[in-house]
Amino acid sequence: MTLEGALHERFGAGAPAVSAGAAAEAALAGPARRASVRRYRAGAPVDGELLRLLCAIALSAPTKSDLQQRDIVILESPEQRRRITALLDEPWIEAAPAFLVFCGNNRRQRQISAWRGRPFANDHLDAFFNATVDAAIALGAFVAAAESIGLGCCPISAIRDHARAVTEILELPAHVFPVAGMTVGRPAAEAPLTPRLPLDVTLHRDRFDEAQVRERIEAYDRRRAALRPYAHQRDVEVYGPTADYGWSEDKARQYAVPLRTDFGAYVREQGFDLL
């Protein structure tokens, strides 16, 4: 699929014009058509040294003030893999050739402050937030690097549903916490693109603009339903089936149920002051 075709499938009629030149367009086509991969080729492991190389590239990504507040745990032990994937209860995760956990790490900064005899004067919400963003940037860089050489990835945010158990299994110390898991492998088939919200909803110029946001999201619902309708509707026993089930209805139902209500308490248990 060309860059133009991928962007049109993502964003519809509002996709940006493509005029970057042949070489640039070829380079950008890959990221434009990326998709989360949940089915991996059987009998095709990912070499440990290749994973280490990809992690090195991920950890070369930008980091706030050069603080480098992100770590990666590669789960090599079958027993460690089993313990983590059992929490997630998804057979495709267990079957993935490789599994990693991206962590935020504000511990090192506190350690070096103590080693150097300097006060740690930033024990507040931003310490947690900076480490989270650092881990997320590294995760994105890992995905980009892996996909550039033909591997497929899928970030697993559900790891935070079990933050305490993951912390115990991985022996994460205070001020280190899981941000996301990641499956990696060689795709069994090309994953379909997911249409994204139109750019006139999520891309702004000079200031935030919500003009016609409801109408634009409802139009997106219709376009997405035509291209990739949901196979199942959430919580039909509560809300009933609906003929016009789309992205906004799915997400409204998803967040009608309390999720990770204890995550703030967990983060405080890891030593963070969130004020």
Q: Which domains does the chain have, with CATH numbers?
A: 35-191 (3.40.109.10)
Give the pair of three-digit tokens for residue 99.
């599994």
Whole-angstrom distance, CA of residue 274 vs CA of residue 181: 23
Report the pLDDT value the prediction gives residue 22, as an integer from 0 to 100: 87
Angle (deg, nearest 10), helices 247-254 and 213-227: 100
Report the pLDDT value the prediction gives residue 20, as an integer from 0 to 100: 79
Phi and psi angles of residue 231, each rounded to the nearest 5 degrees, phi first: -75, -30
Q: Write out the E strands in the chain.
A: 70-74, 98-105, 152-156, 176-185
Whole-angstrom distance, CA of residue 115 vs CA of residue 22: 53
Per-residue pLDDT of the chain (275 residues; tens, 9 = 90+): 899 999 999 999 999 999 878 899 999 999 999 999 999 999 999 999 999 999 999 999 999 999 999 999 999 999 999 999 999 999 999 999 999 999 999 999 999 999 999 999 999 999 999 999 999 999 999 999 999 999 999 999 999 999 999 999 999 999 999 999 999 999 999 999 999 999 999 999 999 999 999 999 999 999 999 999 999 999 999 999 999 999 999 999 999 999 999 999 999 999 999 99
For the whole model, what pTM was predicted?
0.96
Are residues 197 and 217 in contact, defined by beta-carbon separation less than 8 angstroms?
A: yes
Q: Which long-range contacts (CB under 8 A, 24 or more apart) does 57-60 make?
A: 57/141, 57/142, 57/145, 58/138, 58/139, 58/141, 58/142, 58/145, 59/138, 60/141
Report the pLDDT value the prediction gives residue 19, as an integer from 0 to 100: 84
Report the pLDDT value the prediction gives residue 240, as an integer from 0 to 100: 97
SS3 129: helix
Report the pLDDT value the prediction gives residue 247, as an integer from 0 to 100: 98
Report the pLDDT value the prediction gives residue 135, as an integer from 0 to 100: 98
